[in-house]
Structure 1
Amino acid sequence: MGFSLFTLNPKLVKSLPSLVIEPSAIQKQAIPAILSGKDVLALAQTGSGKTYAFGLPILHRIAALQSGTSKLGQQTPNILAVIIAPTRELAAQVCQNLTPLAQAVDLRVDALCGGEDITQQVERLTSPAELIVATPGRLLALAQQGVIQFEQLQCVVFDEADRLLDMGFIADINALLALMPKRQTLMFSATMPATLDELVKTVLSSSTIRLEANALNSAVEDISQTIYHVNKGSKAKILIEQIKLHHWSQVLVFVNAKDDADALCRKLLKAGINAAALHGDKDQALRSQTLNDFKTQQLSVLVATDVMARGIHIDALPVVINFDLPNQAEVYVHRIGRTARAGLSGVALSLVSHLELVSLEAIRQLTGHVLPLTTLADFPVTDLVTNSTSKRAPRDKKANRRTASKRGAGDFSKRKSAQ
C-alpha cells in the first residue's frame, strides 16, 4: 500500500525519493497522529525516518491552509510551522530533505542557523518561508528583533528534543514558547531522559499522543556492536590498524574533546589515512565543506565530537567508531545510529579503556544489551584498575609526604641521627 495508506497530498508522496517506498514504523504511527491536530511525543530510533514522519503531515496541513481548503478558510502568507533542531548540521539536513516536498506543493522552506550572516537571513525573510528549520539561539534572536512573526504559527516541532536539553537550550526554548500562540506541538526523540520528561509535562497538552516505534533507548538491530577492551595509550594504533585491516570505505570516529579530534586526525594523516576533524571550533564554512567532502567520499575518515552526533546522514555509512565512550549513555545510541540507517546494516566499534568501564556499564543498562568486552591478541591490556584497595594506608601517606619534603641526602642523615 505504501504511503497511499494516508490521506496525504499526492504531490507530496510523488516527490519522495525513489528509495522511500514503504513507510517506516514511526511514519505509520506519527503521520495520522499529526494529521489529527493533536500534540505528539514520538520516541523512535535514530535513522528511523523521523524527518518524513513529521515533515509530510506538516507540509500537507500548511499546503491546505495556503490553498484555502482548510477549516480556517484563509490564506496565510506568514510562517506556519517551525522545526527546531539542536545543531546547524541537523537543521541543514532537515531543510534539504523537506525542500523538494515543499516545492511540490508550492511552499518554501528556509534554514536559519548560527554561523551565517544574520543580515542575509533578515534579507531572505522579507519573503517569509512557510516552514522554518532553525537552531534555537538564532531563531530567538530573529524573533526578538521582530524579523520573525509567530502570529500565524500552526505547529512547532522539537527535533532531537533530548539533545536540545543536553546542549543547554532550555532557556531559549522557554523564551520561544512564550512568544508563540497556541499551536500543535510535536516532540521527536530517540531517548527519554528525566529532563525531557519534565519538558513534556509543561509543554505538551494532556491529550498528547505518545508513540513508541521501538523499545525505548534502543539501537537499531541491524547494527553489529563490538566492544574492544584496550589500553588508553593504544587506541590510536588500534584504530589505524582496524581501518587498514578492514579496508572500510568510510568511517565516522567519535571523540569527546575538540583538541583530541585534531590530535587524532594528525596521527591518521601521518599513517597515510585520508582524514579530517570536525568540531564546534571549526569555522562554519569549513564545517560544511568537510562534511560535504565526507558525504562525497573525498574523505575516508571523519573524526568528530558530538556536535555531529545528531545531524549527519551519510548514505550507507558502514562504520561508526567510538574512540572515546560518551559521558552520557544516551549519546551512545545517537552516535551508533549514524550507521544502519533506512533499513541498512552497519558496524559500531568502541575502544574502551579501564577508566571507561563505568560508562560502558551505564550504556548496557540503558540499552539492555550485554555488550561483552573483547580483547585483541596483538594489544594485551596492561592498564591496572584503580580501586580502594590500591590506596596506601594513612601512615604511609604521611611518610611519603615527609620524604618528599627532603631537599637532599643531608636531610635524611640528619633525620636518622636524630632518631
Structure 2
Amino acid sequence: MSFSSLSLVPKLVQALPKNVVKPTDIQALVIPQMLAEKDVLAQANTGSGKTLAYLLPLLQRLLPNPDQQALVLVPTRELAFQVNDSVGKITQPLGLSSVVLCGGVDKAQQQTELAQRPNILIATTGRLLDLLSAEELSLKQVKTLILDEADRLLDMGFWPDVQAIAKKLPAQRQMAMFSATFSDTLKQKATALMSAPVALTAHQENSTNKDIAETLYLVNKGSKAKALIELIKQNHWSQALVFIGAKENADGLAKKLNKAGITTNALHGNKSQSEREETLAQFKSGQTQVLIATDLLARGIHIEQLPVVINFELPMHAETYVHRVGRTARAGEQGVAISLVCHGEAEALNAIRSLTQRELPVQELDGFPVTDKPSTGESKRAPRDKKANRRTNSKKSIKQFQGKRPNSSAKR
C-alpha cells in the first residue's frame, strides 16, 4: 500500500520525508476515515506513526482552505515541541505554518506568532485557556481538533480544560483522539465530545510493540542502582532512557551514574523550560549517554533508534508501562525494554500483566542474588534467620512473580 492509494493529493505525498515510504497500520486505518470527515477514536502503540496519521488528512483539508485552522492538544510542552518538529518537516514545503502554545515560553513571542495566522495550533491546555480568557486568541476558524496522548490528558487532570476548550470550537468540526491505551472512562468521556466516532485499533488493545524485547529482573531494592550501572556497562548501549517514579530521586540516581563514568542527566518537573530543552537536546545529539526521566516529561521524548528503555521503578499506573517501553522500537526498528523489579512492586507488576495480557516472567540478574523477602503484610518483620539457605529463599521469592507459569519455567 502507498500513500497515494489513500487518496492523498500528490503535493502532500511529495512533501513527506524521504524515510517515510509507506503507511503504517494506524495510518492506513485513520487517513481514509479522517479524509471522509469522520470523528475518529484511534488506538495504536507508541511509535506507530500516529502523528502522521492525523497530520496528513488535516493538512489535506487545510491546503485549499488556508484560512482555516487545526488544533492539536497535548498533555506536556515536551510533546508539543515534538509534534511541532514533525509538523514542520511537512508544512514548510507546503507553505503552511504552525505554532506551539505552552507554558514556559514567552507569551509575547507566542502572540507575535499568532498574529501571523498559523494554520496549526499545537497547545497545552493551560496556556491555551490563558490566551482564550485574555481574548488574545479565537478558535472560530478551527475545523479539526486532535487530542494526542488522550489518556495522559485524562490522568493528569486536564479533562475539564479539554471540555472547556471544546465548547469554544465551532459546533461543526472534526475531532480525532489518539492514545496507546484507552480505559473505559476515557472512552466514555471521549464519545461525549464526538459525533459517532469510528473506533480504530491497529494493535491488540493495551499491548506493547511486538518489536520490543522485554526482560524483567528481580533484584533487591537497594541493589537497583548498581544493577543499572552494571547493565549499561555490560551491554555497551550507545544510549539508554531510564524511567523513575519521583523527580526527587532522579538527580540522585544521575549522580551515581556519573560517578560510575556514565554521562547522565535527569529530566523532571523541577527544571526550567530552558534546562529541559538543553537536557533533551544533549541526549538527542548523543552528548549524554543516559537520560533519567519522570513520566510527566516522558511523552515528549522521541529519539531515533533508541536502543533501550529501562524501568528503574515500575509505574504506578499499568497503562504508563505501555507508553514507557514504546519509546524504543519506533517506526519499525527493534528495541529492548528492561525492568528492575523488587518485591515491593509485585502489585504493580501484576497490574501490568493483567492489562497487557502477557506473562512477563522475571528472572535473576547474574551477580545480584535476591536476598530480600516478599512482604507478609505485617507491620514488623521477623528477625532474619542467619543460618537460612539464601539460595533456597531466592528461588522461592522469585516464584512470587511467576504467576501461574509451570515450575520448570522459573529455573535459571
Distance 1:173 1:57 in 2: 22
Check the 8 A contact 1:82/1:134 in 2, yes or no: yes
Match of 1:339 among 328, 338, 354: 328
- Alignment partner, residue 204 of structure 1: 194
TM-score by length of 1: 0.89
Farther-moved stretch of structure 1 (141-150 vs 325-334): 141-150
Structure 2 residue matching 1:226: 3-state secondary structure: strand
Farther-moved stretch of structure 1 (301-310 vs 317-326): 301-310
- Alignment partner, residue 309 of structure 1: 298
- Alignment partner, residue 25 of structure 1: 25
Check the 8 A contact 1:339/1:347 in 2, yes or no: yes
Distance 1:119 1:194 in 2: 40
- Alignment partner, residue 409 of structure 1: none
Distance 1:288 1:53 in 2: 26
- Alignment partner, residue 250 of structure 2: 261
Seen in structure 2, the aligned counterparts of structure 1 residues 392 and 236 have a Cα distance that, compared at 3 Å, is closer
Structure 1 residue matching 2:130: 3-state secondary structure: helix
Match of 1:152 among 119, 122, 141: 141
Q: Kindly state the Cα deviation for residue 389 of structure 1 after the two structures are TM-superposed.
A: 6.5
Check the 8 A contact 1:112/1:138 in 2, yes or no: yes
2:77 aligned with 1:88, yes or no? yes
Structure 2 residue matching 1:2: 3-state secondary structure: coil
Q: Kindly state the Cα deviation for residue 391 of structure 1 after the two structures are TM-superposed.
A: 6.0
Q: Kindly state the Cα deviation for residue 103 of structure 1 after the two structures are TM-superposed.
A: 2.1
Q: Kindly state the Cα deviation for residue 92 of structure 1 after the two structures are TM-superposed.
A: 0.5
Count of aligned positions = 381
Give the CA RMSD over aligned residues: 1.4
Letter in 2 for 1:94: V
Check the 8 A contact 1:26/1:44 in 2, yes or no: yes
Q: Kindly state the Cα deviation for residue 51 of structure 1 after the two structures are TM-superposed.
A: 0.4
Check the 8 A contact 2:242/2:292 in 1, yes or no: yes
Letter in 2 for 1:21: V
Structure 2 unaligned segments of length 5 or more: list them.
383-412
Q: Kindly state the Cα deviation for residue 390 of structure 1 after the two structures are TM-superposed.
A: 7.7
- Alignment partner, residue 179 of structure 2: 189
- Alignment partner, residue 136 of structure 1: 125
Distance 1:288 1:373 in 2: 36
Which has more radius of gyration?
1
Letter in 2 for 1:204: M
1:159-170 matches, cutoff 5 A: 159-170=148-159
Distance 1:56 1:250 in 2: 31
Letter in 2 for 1:161: A
- Alignment partner, residue 42 of structure 2: 42
What does the per-residue CA deviation read over 1:64-91, in whole Å, with 9 as the maximum and x for residues that have no partner?
A: 223xxxxxxxxx2x5x110001111111
TM-score by length of 2: 0.90
1:20-419 matches, cutoff 5 A: 20-66=20-66, 76=67, 80-182=69-171, 183-205=173-195, 207-388=196-377
Check the 8 A contact 1:85/1:158 in 2, yes or no: yes
Letter in 1 for 2:337: A
Check the 8 A contact 2:17/2:89 in 1, yes or no: no
Distance 2:44 2:381 in 1: 49
Seen in structure 2, the aligned counterparts of structure 1 residues 142 and 380 have a Cα distance that, compared at 3 Å, is same
Q: Kindly state the Cα deviation for residue 376 of structure 1 after the two structures are TM-superposed.
A: 1.8
Check the 8 A contact 1:325/1:356 in 2, yes or no: yes
Structure 1 unaligned segments of length 5 or more: list them.
67-75, 394-419
Q: Kindly state the Cα deviation for residue 309 of structure 1 after the two structures are TM-superposed.
A: 2.5
Letter in 2 for 1:5: S
